[in-house]
Amino acid sequence: MTLADALCARHGVVCVVGAGGKKSTLYALARRLDRAVVTATVRIPIFDQHVVDVVVTDTPVEALERATDWPVGVVPNRDGDDRYRGYDPDVVDAIGDSGAAGTVLVKADGARMREFKAPGDREPQLPATADTVLPIASVHAVGEPLSEACVHRPERVADLTDLELGDTIRPEDVATVLTSERGGRVDVPDGATVVPVLNKVDDAAHEAVAREIATDILAQSDVPHVVLTQLTAPEPVVAVVER
């Protein structure tokens, strides 16, 4: 199965949340889709090398209507030397409603380069028109201590699980956070498809861990399937785990 099909990302507004592969997911999809646009509702590192062009604009719909080469990035302005700012979610709604792009790929929260996270009070910043939401976690978090070295907002993860800070993260903890209405499914718009993604499945041992997480996710949630990925590989879909 192709990455776009596995992630239900062939069209519409596709938002990535979580940690351990959000940007890699956006860029891998952008390379494989027709008329893809990359944008964000939060800050995003400079990503010019992953698209044909990045347009800094307050009128992204107009900019996309003029685009001739894809994929394209649209952002409102820079934030220092190494990041762009994101649009308000209603601006992304307007992009999606306009039909100016085939698929709108949106980074909707931050994780400070960690492997795993639970959301803060003001995130994610999901547009109301989100068709697909991809909660992501890295399987590398399993076996690590619940601490800031590996986890963004470890105290939030502790609040959603029975872990204490410093405890070893288990597969069931990743599943619990990704499926929680206060975790990976927080503020998902009605009608949006949720597809959990377990990334950095680099070898057979990681795949075994990922399949254990996926089994727990499917037992706890009504998601259609769970996608196991190695997003740096030429063929990034390792497996699609279904009921």
Residue given tokens 């795993």 in the structure block: 116
Output the pLDDT for position 71. 98
Output the pLDDT for position 17. 98
Output the pLDDT for position 174. 98
The fold of the 3-241 domain, in CATH, is Rossmann fold (3.40.50)
Each domain of the chain, given as residue ranges in start order, spans 3-241
Distance CA(226)–CA(236), nearest Å, equals: 14
Flag whether the pTM goes above 0.85.
Answer: yes
Phi, psi of 31 (to 5 degrees): -70, -20
- pLDDT per 10-residue tile (average), the chain, 243 residues: 97 98 98 97 98 98 97 96 97 97 97 96 96 98 98 98 98 98 97 98 98 98 97 96 94
Token couple for 111: 């994780």
Output the pLDDT for position 198. 98
